[in-house]
Amino acid sequence: MLTTGFKLWFGFFVGAVLAAVFAGYTSGATETGPLSLGWKGGVGNHVSYTILVMGAGVLALLGLVAVAFRDADAKAQADFLGLDEAPPAQAVVGNSLWPVFGALGLGAVGVGLVVHPAIFVIGLCLLGAVAVEWTMTNWSEKVSDDASVNADARENLMRPIEIPVLAAAGVGVLVVAVSRILLTSSVTGAVVVATVIGLVIFVLALWISRRPELPRNTVRGVLFVGCLAVLVFGIVAAVSGEREFHHKGGGEHHDDTHDHGTDH
Amino acid sequence: MTTTDEIDSTVFEEAVTSTDPKVLAKVWGFGGMTSVLLGAIAGLLVGFERLDLTSADLLGSADEVFQFWSAHRVALVLLGVLPALMTLATTVVPRQCGANTLIFPRAAALACWTWLVGAVLTIVGFLADGGLGTPGAGGQRQATALTLIGLLLAIAGLLTATVCVVTTIISGRSTGTGLRDLPFTSWTTLVSATIWGGMLPVLAANIVLTYVDLRGRSAVRFGAEDAIWEQLSWMFTHPAVYVLALPVLGIALDVLSATTGTTQANRDVLLVATAAFGFLSFGAYAQPFFDTPGTPVMEEALYVVMAFAIVPVALVILGGVADTLRRGASNLGTRPPAETVCALLSVMLIVAGTAVGALRVIAPLDLLGTSVTGAQFTLVVGGAVLGVGAGFQHWGDDLVGGPGARPGMNLLGGLALAGGVVLIGATDLISGLLGLSDFTGVDLATAGYPGSGVDGLNIVSIVGSLALVGGLVIWQASGILHLTAAKKASSV
């Protein structure tokens, strides 16, 4: 018996083929062109014809798959698996960071294509990391039936890689951001900024260390806001550009970012 | 690091890491409806500019008017109605199929966030003097490129979500639920998703072609600023625009059936009619940019036949709706629910849109380049927005997770929205018959002929735009109040 899915998609396939042939003949095709996919003559409006024929091909494939797998009905699945009842098609999965980071990576790749190659590369790195992490997460969920055992399996494998890599990346980003802020400030301003940032970090760390009862979320919030502030100021500073550097003994001015030792 | 539920999560972490379709539906829903509101505001600004076509008083130049005009259409379709439909497709549809959840929930989360990132980039691109090109080539090329990239990401998100939804409908159904037994919302979503899967990749290919040429030293043809919109315009006109309406017809059939307490008669006829409506919505072939010399695609027989063929199909579906109402009217009482009114109005607007679409392709009337195109767009997309709203109202408690709906506000917003759509659509239709171009620019030469009465109609259109924006604001407020009330109820 023909399934409903087959009827739907095969019907669409027939419609698309008829539409392609009709479009061909009514837009200047030769007698045999539309019937022979352009092999024996012109097909008229080739864009319309090609899109409709390609669509027809995909729809035919969908129809054939639908009828071959009996519309993937639960009963057909159970019969195929030799069970009385088909298992749920999808197990409920827990929360995951990777989709949102994947989207951010795609966004960075897109923005990087338009704005700057460095952002493009950062996006690619992010996508690569997400691909690895997502794969490992999925692998670990199939290790056993016990979620905690699965989580341990993943932790044992990935933590020795994640922690050093994330720490190095985090420190690197913060160092670059702070260096941009210092290079944008005036000579005296840079000293003031460095002193203030150092003092703020010291005082906050002291304050947190004296209050072990502080909720974990508060500590994480403070760290998040602090890192975000340094990052935002760093980006703003990078966009503003560095201060002007002067060479000793000359009136020449230029923005030499590698000549930090000679500024005064 | 694997999953955030291993540790105590903050509300923010919970929101961005969740793979629960109900949580993601809030992003789709509020994001989509906010885009619809932004699109309506862009349309309102263009409407104000139309009041005095001798100069650009509000938006600065003809190019800016064009940017807002194209932003209006993009925001309504790709950033508005389609994502709003995804709200229902990812939450209501799995439940109707008997699935325990959406299949590929993490891919669905990736789709949602990718769409959001793309939508933000698109809006930033428009605001940074980019958009989809300008007739006078006065836009910023980099911002235009950013808009195109944003649209690509938005399309990627929508396509990924479409795959998750279709897979759920096909292989997630419970035992005994065949495709033929699906409720109409799920059935029309399956048909629409098939068409989206065929059309959105073609649109993405158009955008890639445009982007590659735009980023070269000087655009050869596809990326020329005055050619970008023409290349992508097929997505925002007949027949592609109907694909937004199809799931809404299914929503209307389900809502009316539920609120009247009657089962749909002639079910198989309606299944075939909705499938035919879907087939007739496939518009990727109708690309005027690639016209064969001498045979413009909009004047080709297939295009004209499809425009006429969809009218009786839409009337069959309207007949099904009317039949349900006739048999169950007594159950509605004296004050029918807001979702019933909105669903009925949405179907009527869509049917009116198909009739205007048929009128538009009658060759002797020469209406293809006129604002009749805008009228058809407004009626169909306006009907789709109204129908999505009806769905939100009907399944609102499930979507936001608790009681607290505001039926009065929903009805008021729906009526304002429908009134606005009718006023804009009717004035655009009459203006088009009087010779007003679809995009007027800011000079009288493209705005019809002096004394044509178009100026007076533009004032009526402004009133319609204000009503439309007002209705959408009321709906947004109603949604936020519902969400707040549901949160309070769940915390108690």
State residue A116's pLDDT score: 85
Q: Is the pLDDT of residue A191 over 60?
A: yes
For chain B, say whether A58 makes contact (Cβ under 8 Å). Answer: yes
Give me the residues of A, 192-221, that contact B with CB < 8 A. 216-217, 220-221
Q: Could you tell me if A70 and A146 lie in one domain?
A: no
By CB atoms closer than 10 A (0-12, 13-18, 19+), residue B71 is buried
Cis link prior to B183 (omega < 30° from 0)?
A: no
Q: Phi then psi for B447, rounded to 5 degrees?
A: -105, 20
Q: Is A123 on the interface with B (CB under 8 A)?
A: no
| Interface contact flag, B17 A88, Cβ < 8 Å | no
Helix (H) or strand (E) holding B201: helix B184-214
Q: Single out the residue in A42, A66, A81 at which a domain terminates.
A: A81
Q: Model confidence over B417-433: pLDDT tens digits?
A: 999 999 999 999 998 99
Q: What angle do CA A43, A45, A47 make, to 5 degrees?
A: 105
CA torsion, ordered B460, B466, B468, B473, to nearest 10 deg: -170
For the beta carbon of residue B471, count every other beta carbon within 10 angstroms. 26
Lowest mean pLDDT among A35-39, A257-261, B211-215, B291-295: A257-261
pTM tops 0.95: no
Instruction: Give the per-residue pLDDT at B139.
Output: 79
| B242-285+293-492 CATH pick, 1.20.210.10, 1.10.540.10, 1.10.10.10, 3.40.109.10 | 1.20.210.10
**Nearest residue to B273 (alpha-carbon basis) of B168, B382, B184, B389:** B184
Domain holding A189, by residue range, is 141-246
Domain locations along chain B: 21-236, 242-285+293-492
**Nearest residue of A to residue B202 by CA position?**
A51
Is there a contact between B101 and A26 if contact means CB atoms under 8 Å apart? Answer: no
| Cβ contact B1–A72 (<8 Å) | no
Is A96 in contact with B6 (Cβ distance < 8 A)? no
Superfamily of domain B21-236: Cytochrome c oxidase-like, subunit I domain (1.20.210.10)
Contact A52 B305 (CB under 8 A): no
Domain count, chain A: 2
User: pLDDT: is B218 or B287 the higher one?
Assistant: B287
Q: Closest to A19 (Cβ–Cβ): which among B8, B19, B302?
A: B302
Q: Is the pLDDT of residue B305 over 80?
A: yes
Domain end among A65, A81, A97:
A81
pLDDT tens profile B54-104? 666 677 788 888 899 999 999 999 999 999 999 999 999 999 998 888 999
Share of chain B above pLDDT 90, in %: 65
The listed range with the strongest mean pLDDT (A16-20, A26-30, A144-148) is A16-20
Say if the Cβ atoms of A74 and B176 lie within 8 Å: yes
Complex confidence, ipTM: 0.90
Regarding whether A214 and A146 lie in a shared domain, the answer is: yes
The answer to whether the CB atoms of A71 and B99 lie below 8 A apart is no
Domain shared by A147 and A234, yes or no: yes
Q: How confident is the model at residue B449 (pLDDT cuts 50, 70, 90)?
A: low
C-beta neighbour count of B405 within 10 angstroms: 23
pLDDT, position B158: 96
Q: Quote the DSSP letter at residue B179.
A: G
Average pLDDT over residues B109-130: 94
Does A126 map to a domain? no
Residue of chain A minimizing CA distance to B2: A137
Give pLDDT tens digits for A86-122: 777 777 788 888 999 999 999 999 999 998 898 899 9
Task: Kindly write down the DSSP assignment for every residue of B18-67, as one continuous string.
Answer: ---HHHHHHHHHHHHHHHHHHHHHHHHHHHHHHT-TTS-SSSSSHHHHHH
Residues B404-417 have pLDDT tens digits of 888 999 999 999 99
> Mind listing the pLDDT tens digit for each residue in B196-208?
999 999 999 999 9
A88-107 residues touching B, CB cutoff 8 A: 88-90, 92-100, 102-104, 106-107
Report residue B2's pLDDT band, with 50, 70 and 90 as the boundaries: very low
Taking CB atoms and an 8 Å cut-off, how many pairs form between chains A and B? 209
Q: For residue B15, what pLDDT band results from cuts at 50, 70 and 90? A: confident
Do the two domains B21-236 and B242-285+293-492 of this chain adopt the same fold?
yes
State mean pLDDT over B25-53: 90
In Å, how far is B452's CA from the nearest CA of chain A? 36
Q: CB–CB of B113 and A100 under 8 A?
A: yes
Structure confidence at residue A67 as a pLDDT band (50, 70, 90): very high
Q: Do B297 and A107 touch (CB under 8 A)?
A: no
Is residue B436 pLDDT above 90, yes or no? no
